[in-house]
Amino acid sequence: MDRLLMVPILLPLFSGVLLLLSSVKAKAKMRRGLLWGVVMTALSVSAAVALALVWTGERSLQLFFLLEDAPVFFRTDGIGRLFVTLFSVLFLAAGLFSLPYMKHEGGEERFFGFYLLVYGMLVGLSFSGNLVTMYLFFELVTVVSFPLVLHNGTREAVMAALKYFAYSMCGAYGGLFGIFFLHRCSAGAAFAAGGVLGEAVKGREDILLAAVFVMLVGFGAKAGMFPLHAWLPTAHPVAPSPASAVLSGAITKAGVLAVIRVVYYVTGPELLRGTWVQYAWMTLALVTVFMGSLLAYREQRFKKRLAYSTVSQVSYILFGLSLLTPLGLQGALLHTVAHGVIKSGLFLVAGVFLARYGCERADQLVGIGKKAPTVLWCYTLFALGLVGIPPTIGFLSKWYLAEGALSAGLPLFSYLGPVILLLSALMTAGYLLPVALRGFFPGSGWQAQAGEEQAMPFCFWLPILFLAALTVLLGVFPGFLTDSIGSTVQQLLH
């Protein structure tokens, strides 16, 4: 059974390579049907196997040794279960949306080939059981997601992709720098709740703290944390909207997952608690939260506005992790789910606005509710969730984050944190909700243009409706999610 851990990694890998090498010369309609069949079969089977494995007990699999004492090692646990479930849901939803969307973008085989590769690498990252395996898949996620940003081939897309690649590699090298030090102390040990360093920390605290801080900044680059955040608002606007959805909803979480593994599974939170590293980490996270919201509020290009929003919202998660408390960790993990679902939905909505109605800027969306009312209602639910209005999942996650900060007993940050989170929520309302208001109520001077109302394909509206429903249902019925996350938090901070 443990060998099945390779199926959700290798099946997308082989399917993606097959599409990239494909040279089918059948008629376009037949070719597209074959393409769609390969993509959805590979995604569905891989996701089904991955979910079955992580929800039916813990499993492990050791392969070859990359280093003398560090094998490629896979294992399922509570954190891996949460992330692989999130990745599977988001990739299935965005993949279904991509089927009609990429017909107009072109290069379908190339897009879906790399799309499947990214999913396989993210599953491998979720299953990683030690630092070396995690770093291997962390780098592979960057390599195979780079072409998704590059897809359009324009000069802007090329420059954005190079920027994404450069920032990601710089961040990954920071992580590798820290791994050199931690590996000497952990001797390639598998991840364990509470950390694996033990007595090896004694006498090395200063150098280990410096190494961990470099790792936090490095892996934080993938999560869009200041100062290595600038790739996000550059890459998202030029990538196809389904790619933006998984970049924001899933790939940024690769950085979050790496940070969790380092802090809670290798060093242990006790090494960082009350040190300069914890305070510096919280400072960077809060700066990013406020800065991202402010820049999103000022931005008119709709997808770029959502990208700045991602910069801010993912650092909510990093702030919760930096508190090193049960409530803070629970809030961070809940917001990982909330942001993944909500922001993926927002970028899919942006894809509808762009592909169907040619609206690239927020000020072009006046009256859009008269043309696409169902889509705008879903957008409104996503916006309310990201602001943190009940009964959405966004309210629940932000409640835990605020409670975690207030109960942490940290000088200044216990009060500064909730204040900045509240200011960010107000700015989030300021840059998201007016789009819905002007979309439904354009004013007396607005007139609809004839012929713009068009029926949308099934594959367009179904993923958006599904993610909007999740945004509300996970807030109204959070018991299963909070119980699952709560058991993982108890293992890490018992």
Give the list of residues 6+ apart from residue 210 with CB closer than 8 angstroms, or none.
none
Other beta carbons less than 10 A from residue 462's beta carbon = 14
Instruction: Please state the rounded mean pLDDT for residues 62-84.
Output: 85
CA angle in degrees (0–180, nearest 5) for 309-312-314: 105
- 34 versus 73: the higher-pLDDT residue is 73
| pLDDT at res. 214 | 95
Structure tokens at 403: 């409670």
- Asked if 292 and 232 touch (Cβ cutoff 8 Å), the reply is no
Q: Is 81 helix (H, G, I), strand (E, B) or coil?
A: helix
Question: Which range is least confidently modeled, 78-92, 190-204, 268-282, 319-333?
Answer: 190-204
Give the list of residues 6+ apart from residue 190 with CB closer than 8 angstroms, or none.
60, 73, 75, 129, 130, 196
| pLDDT at res. 85 | 96
Instruction: Please state the rounded mean pLDDT for residues 405-417.
Output: 90
Q: In whole angstroms, what is the distance from residue 6 CA to residue 484 CA?
A: 24
Would you place residue 451 in the very low, low, confident or very high pLDDT band (cuts 50, 70, 90)? very low
- Cα end-to-end span (Å), the chain: 30
| Residues forming a β-bridge with 67 | 70
481: pLDDT strictly greater than 90: yes
| Strands annotated E in 51-134 | 60-67, 70-75
Would you place residue 21 in the very low, low, confident or very high pLDDT band (cuts 50, 70, 90)? confident
Would you place residue 326 in the very low, low, confident or very high pLDDT band (cuts 50, 70, 90)? very high
Buried b (16+ CB within 10 A) or exposed e, 143-167: ebbbbbbbbbeeeebeebbebbbeb
CA distances from 369 to 101, 110, 445 (A): 21, 34, 15
283-300 pLDDT, tens digit per residue, is 999 999 999 999 999 999
Structure tokens at 299: 């931005």
Most confident range (mean pLDDT) of 147-156, 395-404, 484-493 is 395-404
- Asked if 453 and 371 touch (Cβ cutoff 8 Å), the reply is yes
Buried b (16+ CB within 10 A) or exposed e, 4-23: ebbbbbebbbebbeebeebe
Structure tokens at 378: 């879903």
| Sequential DSSP letters for 287-346 | HHHHHHHHHHHH--BHHHHHHHHHHHHHHHHHHHHHT-SHHHHHHHHHHHHHHHHHHHHH
124-172 pLDDT, tens digit per residue, is 999 999 998 999 999 999 999 999 999 888 899 999 999 999 999 999 9
- 459 versus 13: the higher-pLDDT residue is 13
Question: Which range is least confidently modeled, 26-35, 305-314, 371-380?
Answer: 26-35
Q: Is 128 helix (H, G, I), strand (E, B) or coil?
A: strand
| pLDDT at res. 449 | 54
Domain boundaries, the chain: 275-445+453-494
Other beta carbons less than 10 A from residue 336's beta carbon = 27
DSSP 457: P
Q: In whole angstroms, what is the distance from residue 13 CA to residue 371 CA?
A: 40
Structure tokens at 447: 């007139």
| pLDDT at res. 355 | 84
Structure tokens at 223: 């999560």
Q: In whole angstroms, what is the distance from residue 26 CA to residue 14 CA?
A: 21
pTM recorded for the entire structure: 0.94
- Asked if 129 and 60 touch (Cβ cutoff 8 Å), the reply is yes
Q: Which residue in 144, 157, 158 sits closest to 113, CA to CA?
A: 144
Structure tokens at 397: 């996650």
Length of the chain, please?
494
- Asked if 370 and 290 touch (Cβ cutoff 8 Å), the reply is no
Question: Which range is least confidently modeled, 74-88, 299-313, 341-355, 363-377?
Answer: 363-377
447: pLDDT strictly greater than 80: no
Structure tokens at 390: 């009940």
DSSP 239: S
Most confident range (mean pLDDT) of 209-223, 352-366, 454-468 is 209-223
| pLDDT at res. 29 | 59
SS3 content of the chain, % helix, strand, coil (to 5): 75, 5, 20
- Asked if 401 and 316 touch (Cβ cutoff 8 Å), the reply is yes
